Every structure is written in C-alpha cells, then in structure tokens.
C-alpha cells in the first residue's frame, strides 16, 4: 500500500516537472520569435514614407487653383473640391487643409477661408519632424492681387493591405 502511494506521488512530481519544461520550452520559442521579428522590423524599418511630398503636392495644387481664379470669394471656397478637381472623400479622410487670407498666423487663425481637420498645432513643433508619429505639414504663402494667402496642408495617409 505504501509503495503504491509512494509510486503515485512520484508520478505527480514527474508530471509537474514535465509541465514546467513544456512552459519553459514555449517561452524560449516565443523569445526566439520575438528576436527574429524585432530584427526584421529594425532592418526593414517602417516602410516608405511619402506624407511630406503628398502634403506639398496638395498645397501646390490648391495654390495653382487659387492663382487661376479671377474671382476668389466665399462660394469658391465652399466648392473648392469641385473647382480644384480634388476628390472630396480622399481629402477629408487623409488630409487636413487650411487656407487663410491676410492672416498673421494661419495655424491659430479663428476664421480661416477653409479649415478641414484640426491637427495644425502639431505643425509648430520643431521636434515633430524627427518623430514619425507626428503628421507631415506643408506651408505655402503667396500674394494674389493685394491679398496674402497662406495654405497649410497635412497628410496622414498610410498605405493599406487589402485583399485582392
């Protein structure tokens, strides 16, 4: 009887040890996996970032559009997307756009001609250019007639992986 009990308790100790080894084994696998993935992401980096160029392109396009107009009024800015051949859905989803007229500082202007989005304060930060998490801003300032226009654009579009 005692030897039977002894054998049973010995079996339980063996099982606990085996379970511990299994957990340790899985832990080591996870550690190796994390090391390989980390190395991959460090080497290949975060991808190809074209947000700065996209913001500049949008600013340039809006500027050209304004410069081609003979009459620049409230109606023009209400229908800016149609007048400047901009796809409204894409601009509203991925870009921020602010246009000011004769303003000392467009970023903090309370009554811009057009204001899409609200991330413009981040454009003031010098350190933002070093941090990939911050949006990428483009500034354009030009004179049209007797008025000074300032355009600020921000691109926050990241490419997506879609099925297909």
Partner 1 sequence: MKKRGEAGGQIYETVTYLILLVIFFVGMLYFVLQQQSGAGIWEQYYAKELVKIIDFSKPGDALILDVQRGSEIAKKNGVLSFSTMFVFDNAAHEVCVKLNTGGKRTCHNYFNDADVAEVQLQLAGGKNAEGMDVNVLSFKIVDRQRRDLGGERV
Q: What is the rounded distance in angstroms from the CA atom of residue 93 to the CA atom of residue 88?
A: 8
Q: Which helix (H) or strand (E) holds 139?
A: strand 136-144
Tell me whether residue 4 or residue 163 sits nearer to partner 1 (CB atom).
163
Stretch that binds partner 1, among 57-65, 68-76, 107-115, 135-143 (CB under 8 A): 57-65
| Stretch 132-161: interaction string toward partner 1, x if CB under 8 A | -------------------------x-xxx
Q: What is the rounded distance in angstroms from the CA atom of residue 42 to the CA atom of residue 89?
A: 34
Residue 59 touches partner 1, criterion: CB under 8 A: no
Residue 60, both tokens = 């340039």
Are 74 and 99 contacting, i.e. CB atoms less than 8 angstroms apart?
no
**78, 82, 132, 147: which one binds partner 1 (CB under 8 A):** 82
Q: What is the rounded distance in angstroms from the CA atom of residue 102 to the CA atom of residue 92?
A: 25
Q: What is the rounded distance in angstroms from the CA atom of residue 107 to the CA atom of residue 162?
A: 35
Residue 94 touches partner 1, criterion: CB under 8 A: yes
Residue 87 touches partner 1, criterion: CB under 8 A: yes
Residue 85 touches partner 1, criterion: CB under 8 A: yes
Q: Is the CA virtual torsion 81, 111, 141, 124 positive or negative?
A: negative
**91, 113, 137, 152: which one binds partner 1 (CB under 8 A):** 91
Binding stretches for partner 1 (CB under 8 A): 18, 22, 25-26, 29, 32-33, 36, 40, 44, 47-48, 50, 53-54, 57-58, 61, 81-82, 85-91, 93-95, 157, 159-164
């Amino acid at each position: 009887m005692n030897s039977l009990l002894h054998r049973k308790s010995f079996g339980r100790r063996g099982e606990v040890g085996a379970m511990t080894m299994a957990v340790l084994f899985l832990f080591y696998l996870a550690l190796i996996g994390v090391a390989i993935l980390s190395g991959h992401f460090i080497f290949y980096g975060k991808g190809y970032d074209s947000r700065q160029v996209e913001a500049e392109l949008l600013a340039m396009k809006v500027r050209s559009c304004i410069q081609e107009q003979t009459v620049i009024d409230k109606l023009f800015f209400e229908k800016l997307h149609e007048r400047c051949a901009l796809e409204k859905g894409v601009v509203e989803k991925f870009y921020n756009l602010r246009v000011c007229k004769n303003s000392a500082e467009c970023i903090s202007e309370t009554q811009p001609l057009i204001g899409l989005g609200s991330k413009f304060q981040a454009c003031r930060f010098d350190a933002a250019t070093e941090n990939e998490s911050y949006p990428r801003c483009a500034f354009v300032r030009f004179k049209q007639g007797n008025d000074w226009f300032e355009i600020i654009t921000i691109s926050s579009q990241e490419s997506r992986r879609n099925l297909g």
